[in-house]
Chains A and B, each alone.
Chain A
């Protein structure tokens, strides 16, 4: 299965600032996904990132708040912009790993103060 390196693993940020989360995959993958897991909740899909095109955002998520880059088939970033305490969550990237299933990064635990 693919191996995903996600960083940072955790951060504490001031409100109004931005944080960029990186995911590096050890193989080329077509589709990468970004999820948010609010405290004690399930995972909610933020967007799908495809190489060479704009990310596709789910209802309730917008590009200005969560800009995504996908410069090649092994890397993607998610930025959480103009943060507020409500953005405190775990953010995870994921790839569709063909026959194996979906592999997830270890997550970024974000606290906004």
Chain B
């Protein structure tokens, strides 16, 4: 079935470092892809999304490009801040409109 595989964490970075979290997908057809963020003690927030190949989603300095040829949707940020410390989930919308989530990657940014 449709699924995503996400880079395992945890990831620890210094402020202003470059962040990449890898996400690859397996799906029939061309699913919509999402990145969600969960800050400590909070629910999930949509960070960005892409609905078709070559789309680039962006928000709060984060970017991810829907790559059909590599079936990937890697999340990147050029200069992280302490406030970016959170758990990041890659997700895929399946044909029946359900979301399939990756395992989540815990990111800790140190000052």
Residues of A within 8 A of B (CB): 1, 6, 31, 33, 41-43, 45, 48, 92, 94, 96, 100-107
Contacts and interface: CB of A to CB of B under 8 A. Distances in A.
Interface of B: 32, 34, 36, 42-46, 49, 89, 91, 93, 97-99, 101-104
Interface hub of A42, A94, A104, A106 (most chain B Cβ within 10 A): A42
Contacts, number: 44
A104 B44 contact: yes
A94 B98 CA distance: 10
Contact of B99 (A1, A33, A107): A33
A102 B99 contact: yes
B56 to A, nearest CB: 15
B103 A42 contact: yes
B93 to A, nearest CB: 8
Contacts of B98: 33, 45, 48
Interface hub of B44, B93, B98 (most chain A Cβ within 10 A): B44
A45 B99 contact: yes
Given A33-B98, A94-B99, A43 B89 contact: yes
A92 B43 contact: yes
A29 to B, nearest CB: 11
Going nearest first, the 8 A-B pairs with the smallest beta carbon separation are A106-B43, A104-B44, A107-B43, A43-B101, A101-B46, A42-B101, A42-B104, A42-B103
A42 B99 contact: no
A102 B46 contact: yes
A92 B101 CA distance: 14
A104 B101 CA distance: 14
